[in-house]
Amino acid sequence: MKTKNKKSVSIIIPCFNEELVIAKTFQAINDELKKNKNPSIDFNFIFVDDGSIDSTVDIIKKFPKADVQLIRLSRNFGHQSAVLAGIDHCPSDAAIIMDADLQDPPSVIKKMIDKYQEGYDVVYAVRKSRRGETYFKKMTAYLFYRCLNFLSDFKIPQDVGDFRLISSNIISEIKKSNEYEPYLRGIISWVGFRQIGVEYERDKRAAGETKYPLKKMLALAISGITSFSAKPLRCVSLLGLITLCLAFLTLVYILYMRFFTNSWLIGWTAIMFSVLFLGSIQLIAIGVIGEYISKIHFQVKNRPNYIKLDDDDIS
């Protein structure tokens, strides 16, 4: 708990079916905090249970209650919503967001605190390597971050996940936002203030299975791109202009062949190619526009990103 003349830092850990590793994670972080005890910082934990159906909650309830806060969501709302719930209920001067699977090494906490005490508002962890992950996942992650930066109107750090420290300035701005399906990595970068990265080697998962399969990774990628860039819409318009120019050139070619040569043939292949090509462009354009309209559709409903269980429902 926070004492007089000390800064307080909450360690926010979203959890979803982490019974195999959550106790080990809590112990590893505690051991690291004791090993590098900082007399000017008081630490506490915020565990956000994202609708677990195993014994994750029962294990967390056994942790010392003095420095542990448990937030339970009414169902599985997703990782980003769980992190947002932790930030919304953070009472501290700063927060460190970590995964529950020990892929985020507790040893990095000291580096983050050192930079925080130097005056930085955001200290994000940059992955030098990703142990225990497939080549496919590494390659898709590499392409995603570079694609997102290319499309975004501002710089978002590459090879950076949610593992980071954020100050009260950032926490305050996030609490003001009201985005549906927030892409927190982008929001934190967009907010600004003083930000710096520290490198680390991402460990393999200590136990259990990843909670970010390909389907969820693609959904997160689409959310990130549509939240922070209108360039896909501009690309659709540009694509339309390009196809218009191609159609015009094709028309000129057809008229030339008809009136100035003897090679006029009825071309089934050319017709089918034109139909399929233009149809594909139209469907892609409709899909891109539909993603943005879908975002607007859910935003105007103003539904909460998560629903927290009352304390009476937790016991």
Distance CA 107, CA 87 (A): 22
Q: pLDDT at position 229, please?
A: 67
Note the pLDDT tens digit of each residue in 179-204: 777 788 888 888 888 888 888 877 66
**Better-scored residue on pLDDT, 9 or 239:** 9
Distance CA 190, CA 220 (A): 17
Residue 315: pLDDT band by 50, 70, 90 thresholds? very low
Please state the rounded mean pLDDT for residues 139-160: 72
Q: How many CB atoms lie within 10 A of CB 97?
A: 26
Q: pLDDT at position 21, please?
A: 87
Note the pLDDT tens digit of each residue in 245-303: 776 777 677 667 767 776 655 665 567 666 766 777 777 777 777 777 777 766 677 77
Judge whether 41 and 8 are in contact, CB under 8 Å. Answer: yes
Note the pLDDT tens digit of each residue in 76-98: 888 888 999 999 889 888 999 99
Residue 314: pLDDT band by 50, 70, 90 thresholds? very low
Q: pLDDT at position 127, please?
A: 82
| The 3-state secondary structure of the chain, one letter per residue | CCCCCCEEEEEEEEECCCCCCHHHHHHHHHHHHHHCCCCCEEEEEEEEECCCCCCHHHHHHCCCHHHEEEEEECCCCCHHHHHHHHHHCCCCCEEEECCCCCCCCCCHHHHHHHHHHCCCCEEEEEEEEECCCCHHHHHHHHHHHHHHHHHCCCCCCCCEEEEEEEEHHHHHHHHHCCCCCCCHHHHHHHHCCCEEEEEEEECCCCCCCCCCCHHHHHHHHHHHHHHHCCHHHHHHHHHHHHHHHHHHHHHHHHHHHHHHCCCCCCCHHHHHHHHHHHHHHHHHHHHHHHHHHHHHHHHHHCCCCCCECCHHHHC
Residue 313: pLDDT band by 50, 70, 90 thresholds? very low
Note the pLDDT tens digit of each residue in 45-75: 999 998 888 888 899 988 888 788 999 998 8
Q: What is the CA radius of gyration of the chain?
A: 25
Q: What does the mean pLDDT of the chain come to?
A: 78
Q: pLDDT at position 128, please?
A: 79
Q: pLDDT at position 236, please?
A: 73
Note the pLDDT tens digit of each residue in 13-42: 999 988 888 898 998 998 888 888 878 888
pLDDT at 207 > cutoff 60 = no
pLDDT at 156 > cutoff 70 = yes
Contacts of 235 (CB under 8 A, 6+ apart): 288
**Better-scored residue on pLDDT, 3 or 44:** 44
**Better-scored residue on pLDDT, 137 or 113:** 113
| β partners of residue 231 | none
Judge whether 25 and 31 are in contact, CB under 8 Å. Answer: no
**Better-scored residue on pLDDT, 241 or 267:** 241
Note the pLDDT tens digit of each residue in 96-136: 999 888 888 888 888 899 898 888 999 988 887 766 566 67
Q: pLDDT at position 312, please?
A: 42
Q: pLDDT at position 300, please?
A: 74
